[in-house]
Amino acid sequence: MTDHIRYFVGVDGGGTSCRARIINTNGQVMGEAKTGSANILLGADIAMASIIDAIATAAAIAGLSDEDYSTMSVGLALAGAEQRSAWYEFMAQPHPFAAVTLNTDAYGACLGAWSGQDGAILIAGTGSCGILIKGTEQQVVGGREFPISDQGGGAVMGLRLIQQTLLAHDGIRPTTPLSAHVLAHFNQDIDTLVSWSKTARPCDYGHFSPAIFTHAYQGDALGIELLNQTAADIEMWMKALIKRGADQICLMGSIAERIKPWLIPPLQQRIAEPLGDAMDGALAMARGNHNLYPL
C-alpha cells in the first residue's frame, strides 16, 4: 500500500443498496452512507455512480471532500463481480481514488465473517451462494441466480410453494393452511396467480418464505415438507464446501439463520458465528489486494 493512503473505504453493494464506510489508518470510522443499487450487472456506469454517491455522502459526514479521494484506497464487495466481462468493464472505468479492489459481495461477506482470514460461508437469503477462501484462492458453489440455481434461498422456497399450491388447487395433493394462505393472497384466483408469475422477481417469490416458516412451526405438512427440502439444499452446499476443505462454515442471510434447527446434527456442529459482515470484508479488501481477476 502506497504511503499517500490516508483513508480506507469499504463498499458493500447489491441489487437494492450500496453502503460505504470510510475509516482512517488507525481504524477509526469517519463516515458511513447508503445509496442505490451497485450490482455491476445492471451497468458498470450505474454501479460506479452509486458507489461514488455513497462515498461522497460518507465523506461529507467525515468532513472530507472529493479532494481527499486521491488518498483513499477503496475495497468493493459488489454483486455481479463474478461475471468476468462485467468485472473488466467496471474496472476499465476511470475513477478518482488512489486504488480500487473489486471482488464479489459473497467474497466480502466471507472476509468479514472470518476477520480477513481463511474460512467458509454459506449465504442463503433471497438467493444462495457458498464460498471458501484458502490463501489466494476462492472456491464458489452455487450462486448462479434464480431460477437455475440458488437452492436453499427464499426465492426457490417461494417458487416451490407456488408449485405445490397449484397441485393442491387441482386436487393432486391435500390443501393445507399454507397453500390456502397463498390462494387467499391471490384472492382465490388462479389466473391472477399465473399472471403474477409472468413478471415476478426473485424477491417476489421470496416474499412467501416467512409464511413457510410460520406454518411449518404450526405443524403444517406442506410447510414442514418445504423446510425439510430447504434444509437438504443447505446441507448440500455445506457438504460441497466441506469436501473442498472447509472445517467450520458461517451461515449468513435470513433463510440460513432460521434453518439451523432443521439441519442434521453433524452439520449443525460445523456452524460458526460470523465475526463481521461484508462491510468489514470490503475494508479488509481496501487494505490489501483481493481482486477477483488480475488487472
Q: Confidence band (pLDDT; 50, 70, 90) for 215?
A: very high
What gap in Å lies between CA 142 and CA 24, rounded to an integer?
Answer: 36
pLDDT in tens, 155-210: 999 999 999 999 999 999 999 999 999 999 999 999 999 999 999 998 899 999 99
Q: How many C-beta atoms lie closer than 10 Å to residue 271's C-beta? A: 15
In the chain, CATH 3.30.420.40 sits at 7-115+276-287, 154-272
pTM: 0.82
pLDDT at position 32 = 96
pLDDT in tens, 7-30: 999 999 877 789 999 999 999 999
What gap in Å lies between CA 80 and CA 50, rounded to an integer?
Answer: 15
Selection from 295, 288, 256 nearest residue 273 by Cα: 256
- Residue 160, all three cell numbers: 416451490
What gap in Å lies between CA 287 and CA 295, rounded to an integer?
Answer: 17
Cis preceding linkage at 294, omega within 30: no
Percent of the chain with pLDDT over 90: 81
96 burial level (CB within 10 Å; 0-12, 13-18, 19+) = middle
pLDDT in tens, 172-185: 999 999 999 999 99
What gap in Å lies between CA 182 and CA 253, rounded to an integer?
Answer: 24
Contact (Cβ atoms closer than 8 angstroms) between residue 203 and residue 87: no
pLDDT at position 3 = 64
Selection from 12, 191, 231, 2 nearest residue 97 by Cα: 2
Structural class in CATH, domain 154-272: alpha beta
Decide if domain 7-115+276-287 falls under CATH 3.30.420.40. Answer: yes
